[in-house]
Amino acid sequence: MELKQSIPFLLLVIILFRTSMADPRTKMVSIMCGNQLEHNSTQFVPNFVAVMENISEQMRTKGYGSAVVGSGPDANYGLAQCYGDLSLLDCVLCYAEARSVLPQCFPFNGGRIYLDGCFMRAQNYSFFDEYKGPEDKTVCGNKTRKGSGFGASVRQALSLVVSGAPTNNGYAKAQMGSTANDSAYVMADCWKNLDERSCRACLENASKSITSCLPWSEGRALNTGCFLRYDDKEFLNKEGGSGGNSRGTRVVIIVSVVSSVVVLVVAVAVGHHVWRNRYIQKKRKGSNDANKLVRTLNDSSLNFKYSTLEKATESFNDNNKLGQGGFGSVYKGVLPDGREIAVKRLFFNNRHRAGDFYNEVNIISTVEHKNLVRLLGCSCSGPESLLVYEFLPNKSLDRFIFDQTRGKGLHWEKRYEIIVGTAEGLVYLHENNNIRIIHRDIKSSNILLDSRLRAKIADFGLARSFQEDKSHISTAIAGTLGYMAPEYLAHGQLTEKVDVYSFGVLVLEIVTGRQNNRSKSAEYSDSLVTLTWKHFQSGRVEDLYDPNLMLHNYRDNQAMKNQICRVVHVGLLCTQESASLRPTMSKALRMLTNKEEHLPPPTTPPFVDEKTMELNDKYEDPSYPLNADDDGSIADVTHSSFYPR
C-alpha cells in the first residue's frame, strides 16, 4: 500500500542527512517470522509500537535496548542491538531499517531480523535468556571459492573471537592471513542480555556451523543469542564511538523525528490490515475454542497435575532429559504407580501457543494404533504446558541406522518389520478415520522404537487433518528438507502423497544406512533418492546396502536380497516426482507384504534433471528466506525430532 511504500523514502531522507562516512550496514541478511497468529490486535499492536519506541530511545544513547509492554498472550517483548563497531549514528540508521521491516511479520506474534549491522527480535514471551533454538541457521555467501589457506585463516580468527567476545562485553573481531588470498576478517557479537557462559556457548555453536560455508568467501551464523560473520574483505567500520559532534546530534534528532513517523506509518498500515481482515478473523477459530478445550482437558482423565509430573521428572532434571524437538524438551519420568512416561515441556509457553497445540492434541487423542506413540495426557493448569506420552526405551530409529555400531543390532528382519509397522501406522492415519490425518514430518528421528524395536510414529506437532470430501488443503509449508515432496515444497498443496514421499525416503535410509542430506557443503553430490535411482537403473542397487545387513547368516541369502531389492523398488515408487504416480500407503503396504503384488517400474524422482534441480537448490540455499507467502515459499522448515540425537 502507499503508506508502506513511503517507508523507504523516509529512510532515504535519513541517509541524505548523514555526515558520517561509516557504513550502517543495513543490508538484510534474513527475516524469520513466527507461525502463531497474534491473540488480540487491539492490544498487540499498541504494545508492539510502544516496545519499538521504548527501544528506540535506548538505541540513541547506548546502541542496545530491550523492553516489555503488556501481559499475557498480548504482551510484547523486544530486543535490538547494533554490532560493536557501529557508531551511534550508524546504529540508529540500522535500527530504523530493522523496525520498518519487522512489522511485515504481522499478524504473527513474533519475529526476528538480522541485518549486517544490527539485530532485532520481538515475541509475546520472554526470550531474553535464550541463546540457541531450532531457528538457528547459517547463511553462506557463495561468491568466491577460496583455497585451504583462507580456510585456515578463518578457523584461527574464529577461535580468537569465540574466546575473546564473552569477556569483552560480547564483542570481538579478528583478522588473520598474510596475503590477500589468505586474509580472513571475522566478527562476533552476543546479545548483551546473555551472561558470559551463554555467550560462549552460543558462539561455539555458531563457529561449528559457520565453517560449513567454507571454502566460500563469506558466511554468517544467525543464532538465537549471537551473530558471527567471516569474509575475505574488510567489512567492519574503522572507527566506533558515539559520534556525538554537533552535526551528528542533528542527524540523531532527524532520525528520531523520522523514526517516529515510521512508527506511525507502520501502526496505520497494521491497523488497515486488521480492519481488512476483521471478517476473516471472526470466522476463524479463536482463543475461545482453545479455552474450551483447556477446560475440557482439565475435567477429563487426560489431565495430570503439574506437581505430579514435576515430581516424576525430578523437577525436569537434566539427567532425565531424553532430547529436544521442534516444540519442546522431552524428559523421562516415573509416576507414583511405577509407570515410565515421557513428558514434553513446551518451548513457547503462552496460552495462545498452548491453545493451538491442544487443538492438534485433540486430533491425535482420538486415534489409537499399535504403531502410533500413545498420548497419555497433559497438564494445562500449572505454570507450564506439558504433554505426557508413553515412554519408549530405545528412543528413535536414527540412533540405530546412522550409527555403525548400533546399526549392527538391526538385522534385516527387524528393519523390514520397522518399515511395515511404519506403513501400517500411516495407513491408519490416512484411511481408517472419517477425518484424514497427514503427519507432514515422517523421518527416522520421528520413528520411535519400543523395547522390542517395533516402530511407533511420533511427534504430531505438524500434523493436519481434513474431511474426506477435500482433495487437498493449501497450507504454509512445514517439515524437514530432504523429506518434503516436490509439489508440496513448490505449491504448498498438502495431500497424503506428501507422507508417501517422506515414507519412501525413510525406506531408502533404512536399507542403506545413509541420510538423504543433499547440501551445499556436499557440492554436486546426489541425494540418496537420486543415488538409489541411478544404481537401480544400472542394476547395481546392492552396492548401496548397509553393510550391517550382511553380517548375519541367512538360510536363504538370495531370498533376503530379493526382498531388500523389492523394498527399494517400493521406496522409489513412493518418491516419484509425480504425486499421481505414487501409490497410496495401503497400496505400498500391499507391495511390501505381498510378493504377488505387481510392482510397476518407477519413474524419475524429483531434482534429477536440471530444471527441477534448480528448484531444489533454491530451497536448500541457506540465503533463501524461510518465511514468505503461500506462493511456493517455505514458511516453517524444521529439523526437529521427538527424541533427537
Annotated binding site: 344
DSSP letter for 65, please: E
Binding site for ATP: residue ranges? 344
Distance separating alpha carbons of residues 473 and 441, to the nearest angstrom:
16
Nearest to 482 by CA among 445, 535, 537: 445
Residue 223: helix, strand or coil by DSSP?
coil
DSSP for 252-315, please give it. HHHHHHHHHHHHHHHHHHHHHHHHHTHHHHHHS--HHHHHHHHHHHHTSTTB--HHHHHHHTTT
Distance separating alpha carbons of residues 297 and 300, to the nearest angstrom:
5
Distance separating alpha carbons of residues 124 and 256, to the nearest angstrom:
26
Nearest to 11 by CA among 252, 253, 264, 262: 262
Asked if the peptide bond before residue 73 counts as cis, ω within 30 degrees of 0, the response is no
Dihedral sign (CA 636, 638, 641, 644): negative
Buried b (16+ CB within 10 A) or exposed e, 561-600: bebbeebbbbbbbbbbbebeebbebbbbbbbbeeeeeeee
Nearest to 563 by CA among 530, 586, 535, 541: 541
Distance separating alpha carbons of residues 586 and 623, to the nearest angstrom:
39
Residue of 441, 459, 499, 636 with catalytic role: 441
Distance separating alpha carbons of residues 589 and 592, to the nearest angstrom:
5
Active site residue 441: yes
Give residue 33's identity as a one-letter amino acid code: C
Tell me which residues are annotated as active site. 441
